[in-house]
Structure 1
Amino acid sequence: MKSILAGTAPLLLLALPVAVAAQQAKPEDTEQWSPAVPVVTPGRSDTASPPSDAIVLFDGKSLDQWANVKDGAPAGWTVADGIATVKKEAGNIQTRRSFGSYQLHLEYRIPANVTGKGQARGNSGLFLASTGPGDTGYELQIMDSYHNDTYVNGQAGAIYKQFPPLANPARKPGEWQSIDVVWTKPTFAADGSVKTPAYLTAYFNGVLVQDHVALRGETLYIGKPSYKPYDKAPIKLQAHGDPSPPISYRNIWVRDLDRSAS
């Protein structure tokens, strides 16, 4: 028996690096490419003005309701002609207030001269609850999905790396588009375990793309999503580092659904 074990030990050692390599996580592990999301032509609609009980997060004049994610300094994005344009070197921005469950409306525009392809084309993101200074939170993808192929759980309207949208109603670059969401925050037990998951309903250009979906946890670029306990958190907009011209936002407002905004 001793001689048999001695002879197999080198084989076990040789197999070990292979096993370790097989366990190495990669971004592609959580990319879903099929089935394809059906394309839908959205109807036309005017800008949705805020309801009387809404908190206006961007009225076209200033980003006073927002701050830089890294250091809390004033949001460094460009504001002109009633719109806010991502300034990539300024980084991500987040609301100065924190929210639990809420209804949110925003409008965005992919530049007509957008370049690149896949995830490197008009990429941004709506982080529904930004729980820390890093890229953590729960992301609804915003990017150019008009005749632009990428993994389906990474296209516009997807809960990033979790659930593809039910439809692709993206308008062509240069046109304004709308996102409307109802966010139901997760709840946690005293020990940090999940009592109820987060739920998301989302409309993209008036078309239902997420139907009261139970999220699997926070967004991760690499690896499986997981939850981290929180009660209220800011809402974040992403300044993605892709090389295409930056996208713009306008008319952003939120309605507090648990009356616990601070």
Structure 2
Amino acid sequence: MNYKLALTILLAGSSFAAFAQDAKPEDTEVWSPEVKVVTPGKTTADAPSDAIILFDGKNLDEWSSADDNSKPAKWTVGKGIVTVNKKEGGIVTKRKFNNYQLHIEWQVPKNITGSGQARGNSGVFLASIGKGDAGYELQVLDSYQNKTYVNGQAGSIYKQFAPLANPIKQPGEWQTYDVIWTAPTFNEDGSVKTTAHVTVFFNGVLVQNNTELLGPTQYIGKPHYVKHGAAPIYLQSHGDPSEPDSFRNIWIREL
């Protein structure tokens, strides 16, 4: 070994040893600001103390018609659930959000019929940025022994990314999505500053792992970003004969 190099290593080692002797555990302790206290629910499905309850099984006060935001949402509420009303179209939250944690439970009918995409098709649009099905769609579909394109099955970011697994339960059972949504940001000129990312647990199984989205959902063609700000969450009425899907226990935590 070169003498100068050996001497340099020796001196560096001595300096590190001296620093380690002088260092104290409290040098790397952070005491402030204190972390906000949040009271968790009794189970992971229950809303924590800082959550906004979007649907508590009683009414749709937090929602409006997606076709006309000035009109109330007219899906059917009863027995603690809300069921798609195909005649009324989709529903959208009155509030707008940027980054958040979302919990939502959904169910396709036990006697579901149809196949492929025509089998309990709906969607949770994580940010609705225009009329109709404009936004970033987390697919809702009966994917239990139901073959379709993989980036269109339940747990997919529709027409972009297939889920990492298919943990769906049988029709008639309740399914759960737990979502971490990071909204995109834009420069003044409309160019993308940071892209959207999403993490999804489907019935407790990780199916989207900090997935970087290519833009809002496009049924035909490649997705691309369009500048927008905070946006509502949209629940889709797909209009298939195999509907109606139902939802319950919807809450959100802004991040």
TMscore range, shorter length: 0.7 to 0.9
Partner SS, residue 97 of structure 2: coil
Task: Please give the alpha-carbon distance, in whole angstroms, between the structure 2 residues aligned to 1:55 and 1:197.
Answer: 25
Task: Please give the alpha-carbon distance, in whole angstroms, between the structure 1 residues aligned to 2:92 and 2:147.
Answer: 29
1:39 aligned partner: none
Q: Say how many residue pairs are matched.
A: 212
The residue correspondences of 1:149-188 to structure 2 (distance < 5 A) are: 149-188=147-186
2:65 aligned partner: 68
Deviation at 1:134, TM superposition (A): 2.4
Query: Which of residues 241, 244, 254 is equivalent to 1:243?
Result: 241
Task: Please give the alpha-carbon distance, in whole angstroms, between the structure 1 residues aligned to 2:97 and 2:226.
Answer: 16
Partner SS, residue 117 of structure 2: helix
Work out whether residues 100 and 252 of structure 2, in 8 Å CA contact, stay in contact via their aligned partners in 1: yes
Amino acid at match of 2:113: T
Structure 1: runs of 5 or more not aligned: 1-45, 258-262
CA RMSD of aligned residues (A): 0.9
Query: Which of residues 46, 50, 55 is equivalent to 1:58?
Result: 55
CA shift in 2, pair 1:250/1:92, >3 Å: same
2:83 aligned partner: 85
Task: Please give the alpha-carbon distance, in whole angstroms, between the structure 1 residues aligned to 2:86 and 2:205.
Answer: 29
1:202 aligned partner: 200
Partner SS, residue 153 of structure 1: helix
Deviation at 1:133, TM superposition (A): 1.6
Deviation at 1:241, TM superposition (A): 1.4
Amino acid at match of 2:97: F
Task: Please give the alpha-carbon distance, in whole angstroms, between the structure 2 residues aligned to 1:253 and 1:233.
Answer: 16
Deviations 1:155-201 (A, max 9, x none): 00000000000000000001011000000000111100001100000
The residue correspondences of 1:41-52 to structure 2 (distance < 5 A) are: 48-52=45-49
Work out whether residues 109 and 177 of structure 1, in 8 Å CA contact, stay in contact via their aligned partners in 2: yes
Work out whether residues 113 and 245 of structure 1, in 8 Å CA contact, stay in contact via their aligned partners in 2: no
Amino acid at match of 1:145: S
Deviation at 1:245, TM superposition (A): 3.1
Structure 2: runs of 5 or more not aligned: 1-42
CA shift in 2, pair 1:212/1:218, >3 Å: same
Task: Please give the alpha-carbon distance, in whole angstroms, between the structure 2 residues aligned to 1:168 and 1:107.
Answer: 16
Work out whether residues 113 and 173 of structure 1, in 8 Å CA contact, stay in contact via their aligned partners in 2: yes
Task: Please give the alpha-carbon distance, in whole angstroms, between the structure 2 residues aligned to 1:255 and 1:75.
Answer: 22
Task: Please give the alpha-carbon distance, in whole angstroms, between the structure 2 residues aligned to 1:106 and 1:82.
Answer: 13
Task: Please give the alpha-carbon distance, in whole angstroms, between the structure 2 residues aligned to 1:122 and 1:226.
Answer: 27
Partner SS, residue 249 of structure 1: strand
Q: TM-score, normalised by structure 2?
A: 0.82
Task: Please give the alpha-carbon distance, in whole angstroms, between the structure 1 residues aligned to 2:62 and 2:50.
Answer: 16
Q: TM-score, normalised by structure 1?
A: 0.80
CA shift in 2, pair 1:47/1:63, >3 Å: farther
Deviation at 1:47, TM superposition (A): 7.2
Give 1 or 2 for the bigger CA radius of gyration.
2
Task: Please give the alpha-carbon distance, in whole angstroms, between the structure 2 residues aligned to 1:120 and 1:245.
Answer: 9
